[in-house]
Amino acid sequence: MSTRVLVTGGTGLVGSAIRHVIQTTEKRNDEEWIFVGSKDGDLTDLQSTRELFEKYKPNKVIHLAAMVGGLFYNMNNNLDFLRKNMLINDNVLLVCHEINVNKVVSCLSTCIFPDKTTYPIDETMVHNGLPHDSNFGYSYAKRLIDVLNRGYFEQHNRLYTSIVPCNIYGPNDNFNPTASHVIPGMIHRLYNIINDNTVDTPQEERVFTVWGSGKPLRQFIYSLDLAKLAVWTLREYDSVSPIILSVDEADEVTIEFVARSIAKAFDFKGRIEFDTTKADGQHKKTASNTKLRSYRPDFQFTKFEEAIKYTVDWYLQNQDKVRK
């Protein structure tokens, strides 16, 4: 009997990456994978969620659906992030329990960790203090998934768990400047600078302005790497405790390095400047992947500049379907 896996948020960045690896390197004949997006059902509505899950009757679920956005979108919409994500997560896990789904892997984020903490952060520290003010709504909603997972395990013996990726980027990202994260936002803005035909300025004189000082440090994971690890988590990781899926600590980079890597991928000839009137957010949020490495010591992450080049090339070649 084959396993039927339902992926919520299946048309987004991570869902598209999982679809790709399932069709290529991670393909198994004893699994049937179904990818659904917001057009297939409203997960903020319990009845709509029930109808969607009854339609496909999955045995396992990867839950990616969420209201998401970058730093500035989060800062201005914290209440919406809290309420909508709480509704989505509660409805999905409740319905999974009702129809006897035996395993759920939900997706959290390293941005949910306490603002005031020691580094590197690890899986035991999720609830140790207040999250950063800029995204408290999203953070608390995501933290509650971990609370729900524990509740379903203790009360109903359900194996509902969560992955905690660092910053994700790659093909099929959301490049809309009002809602995007840092890498797709930079890619979109630099593309517009290079292709702005309303000005007569040669490219060498054009300026790519990066918001903030460029000094904050971040770990970034390529979406196809995360997809492989998410599939492994579904198949092999059997604990309700969350697991951080992140590149190694040594692979942390500055926002300035990100900007210069994107400029290099575009072969941009102009200048890069930093607008220090814009907020930086947290200076760093270094995550430890020691737990992951205890299971997957030999996993090879794609080199950052190589993956940035893949992402920029995908963006350039898929202008007709880019979310922007």
Catalytic residue numbers, as ranges: 138
Q: Are 64 and 15 in contact (CB under 8 A)?
A: yes
Q: Using the 8-state DSSP alphabet, how is residue 147 labeled?
A: H
* Helix, strand or coil, per DSSP, at residue 232: helix
Buried b (16+ CB within 10 A) or exposed e, 269-306: ebebebeeeeebbbeebbbbbebbeeebeebebbebbe
What is the distance between the terminal CA atoms of the chain, rounded to a whole angstrom?
41
CA distance 224 to 236: 18
- Identify the H or E element spanning 105: strand 103-107
CA distance 81 to 136: 9
- Identify the H or E element spanning 77: none
Segments in 165-317 forming alpha helices (H): 182-194, 223-236, 255-266, 290-295, 304-317
CA distance 147 to 243: 14
- Beta-sheet pairing, 217-218 with 253-254: antiparallel
